[in-house]
Amino acid sequence: MTQSYWLERAWLGSGDVLDHVVVDVDDRRFTRVETGVASPPTDAVRLAGLTIPGLANCHSHAFHRALRGRTQRERGTFWTWREQMYAVAQRLDPDLYYDLARATYREMAASGITSVGEFHYLHHGPDGTPYDEPNVMGAALVQAAEDAGIRLALLDTCYLASGIGALPEGVQRRYSDGDATRWLERVQEIDRRDGVVTGAAIHSVRAVPRGEMRQVVEWAEWNGAPLHVHVSEQVAENEACVAAYAMTPTEILDEAGALGPRTSAVHATHLTPGDIGLLGRSETHACLCPTTERDLGDGVGPSRDLFAAGSPLTLGSDSHAVIDFFEEMRAVEMDERLVTQQRGHWSAEELHVAAAATGHASIGFGDGGRIEVGGWADLVTVDTTSLRTAGTGTGLESTAFSASAADVVHVVAGGRVVANRDDHREIGCELERAITAVWKGDR
């Protein structure tokens, strides 16, 4: 059945914001996009404010949502924070994982995210013993996203070592398949679902031995699947890699054939000029997660230099210190200002393209992120009269530099209404229940 929407103002994915746009939706896709329709059709749902395409969260660890607010009293570094993250990873079973992920994905939906790339490495039981159904944890994520109403790219992650030359220890044992061959065998058994992308990830150069990377790369090539990898998030990671191999992480990945247009280098923070050249010439996506990178004290990645070299920008909320893509967008620009002491590195349109069309393409949904006939029917409507957005103008600067996730009032994903302003309290209560159950260890 066709559903029509009349959009008071809309940005279709490129160009200017337009007034009075009518779209028709049928079978999860846009079947009509018409501009300049002054009078709403009688059967159309009216969406006041500014409507933009759905946003793509290209790097998520859903279980990290249980850490929000709970890690802020302790001083330290990424490495001390990681121990608290491991404590959450140790507690999860498939049912708890489903509950936490569904609530987290519902929060994403309410903030305007319609597709998510889940960097998934919680594969086995707490002691490393595979479940009877070896992909049950991934299946929990797939079901959680479906029930929350957003599309999922399950980026099944190869994680085999605790560091270069070191075996997994503690909770890391539940991440590891033992070697890349057994990772490949398990991934081949993942059930395929319509609207779900199955992709691959190399956790990092410290977690996947140099000689094991190629099998992951080849699987992604054979399947035309997205390939994601943490790259140079920490100085210590770079130092260990250079000490072991006399090469940077980016150079190791290039040697393994991992770089290219279907690949995303997540964080890409501490790079040499040579690294930037390799990533740019190969058109590898650079997935920045600014709210996480600042929360963990990672540093600021060279976003504009990467873009100028040829690496398309995408965004992720990673640890979910916040889930707010308007904040992620403006943080890319604001971080550049802090580093360079200059303003105006990224335009509002460039940031929106990164958060929408480019992000969707990088996780395997190349027909998302635009309001166009044949594309995924995703609509994110932002209140332009809130305390944050009132008086900020009619262009994309209003959303990129003023709005917050709290200003999202209506979300359609794949033709389905998945969130509106009235849902916020109920979603918050679901998050509270799920996170309380994780920390109590009961249901």
Domain CATH code at residue 404: 2.30.40.10
What pLDDT, in 10s, does the model give residues 4-41?
999 999 999 999 999 999 999 999 999 999 999 999 99
Helices (H) and strands (E) in the chain, counts: 15, 15
The tokens for 225 are: 């699947």
Name 240's Cβ contacts closer than 8 Å, sequence gap at least 6.
163, 164, 206
Let me know if residue 243 belongs to a domain.
yes
Statement to judge: residues 28 and 80 lie in one domain: no
AA letter at 379: L
Shared domain for 143 and 261, answered yes or no, is yes
Mark whether 107 and 200 lie in a shared domain.
yes
Least confident range of 20-29, 334-343, 434-443: 434-443
Domain around 398: 3-52+371-426
Instruction: Tell me what percent of the chain is helix, strand and coil, each rounded to the nearest 5.
Output: 40, 20, 40
Pair (347, 388) in one structural domain: no
Residues 296, 416: one domain?
no
pLDDT for residue 370 is more than 60: yes
Q: Which of 362, 387, 407 is the last residue of a domain?
A: 362
The per-residue DSSP string of 103-149 comes to HHHHHHHHTTEEEEEEEE---S-TTSPPPSSTTHHHHHHHHHHHHHT
**pLDDT tier, 77 (very low <50, low <70, confident <90, very high otherwise):** confident
**pLDDT of amino acid 75:** 83
- Among residues 362, 383, 407, which one ends one of the domains? 362
Indicate if 279 and 410 belong to the same structural domain: no
In a domain, 442, yes or no: no
pLDDT at 204: 98
Let me know if residue 404 belongs to a domain: yes
d(CA 250, CA 263): 12
* Cβ atoms of 320 and 60 closer than 8 Å: yes
Instruction: Say yes or no: 31 and 63 in one domain.
Output: no
Helix or strand run (H / E) with residue 251: helix 249-255
Same domain, 127 and 26: no
Do the Cβ atoms of 252 and 246 come closer than 8 Å?
no
Q: Is residue 176 part of a domain?
A: yes
- If asked whether residues 34 and 116 sit together in one domain, one would say no
Q: What percent of the chain has pLDDT over 90?
A: 95
For residue 433, being part of any structural domain is answered with no
Residue 432 included in any domain:
no
Percent of the chain with pLDDT over 70: 99
| Burial grade of 255 (CB within 10 A; 0-12, 13-18, 19 or more) | middle
Report whether 212 contacts 180 (CB < 8 A): yes
Q: Cβ-count burial of 343 within 10 angstroms (0-12 exposed, 13-18 middle, 19+ buried)?
A: exposed
pLDDT digits (tens, 9 = 90+) for 48-66: 999 999 999 999 999 999 9
Task: List pLDDT tens digits, range 268-312.
Answer: 999 999 999 999 999 999 999 999 999 999 999 999 999 999 999
> pLDDT tens digits for 353-366?
999 999 999 999 99
Question: pLDDT of 416-427, one tens digit each?
Answer: 999 999 999 999
Q: What span, in angstroms and rounded, lies between the C-alpha atoms of 20 and 71?
A: 46
Asked if residue 121 is part of any domain, the answer here is yes
Residue-wise pLDDT tens digits, 163-191: 999 999 999 999 999 999 999 999 999 99
What's the structural domain count of the chain?
A: 2
Q: Are 95 and 442 in contact (CB under 8 A)?
A: no
C-alpha 315/C-alpha 285 separation (Å) is 10
- Per residue in 185-229, pLDDT (tens digit) is 999 999 999 899 999 999 999 999 999 999 999 999 999 999 999
Whether residue 145 has pLDDT greater than 70: yes
Judgement on whether residues 408 and 276 belong to the same structural domain of the protein:
no
Between CA 250 and CA 338 the distance in angstroms is 25
Interval 93-104 mean pLDDT: 98
Contact 59, 121 (CB under 8 A): no
CA dist., res. 278 & res. 272, Å (int): 10
Q: Give the catalytic positions in this structure.
A: 267, 318
Amino acid 13: pLDDT: 98
Interatomic CA distance for residues 443 and 438, integer angstroms: 8
What is residue 441's predicted lDDT score, i.e. its pLDDT? Answer: 58
Determine the Cα–Cα distance for residues 112 and 323; give it in Å rounded to an integer. Answer: 10
Residue 336, Cβ density class (10 Å: 0-12 exposed, 13-18 middle, ≥19 buried) = buried
Q: Output the pLDDT for position 443.
A: 47
Residue 433, pLDDT above cutoff 60: yes
Six token digits for residue 230: 């943490």
Structure confidence by residue, pLDDT tens digits, 392-411:
999 999 999 999 999 999 99
For residues 239 and 150, membership in a common domain is answered with yes
Backbone angles phi, psi at 397, to 5 degrees: -60, -30
- Decide the pairing of beta strands 44-52 and 29-35: unpaired
Residue that finishes a domain, picked among 331, 362, 393: 362
Is pLDDT larger for residue 71 or for residue 390? Answer: 390
Q: Quote the pLDDT of residue 81.
A: 86
User: What is the predicted pLDDT for the residue at 218?
Assistant: 98
Closest by Cα among 183, 159, 185, 184 to 170: 159
Centre a 10 Å sphere on the Cβ of residue 29 and count the other Cβ atoms it contains: 16
- Whether 250 and 376 share a structural domain: no
CATH of the domain at 228: 3.20.20.140
Report yes or no on 436 lying in a domain. no
How much is the mean pLDDT over the chain? 96
Distance between CA 181 and CA 215 in Å, rounded? 7
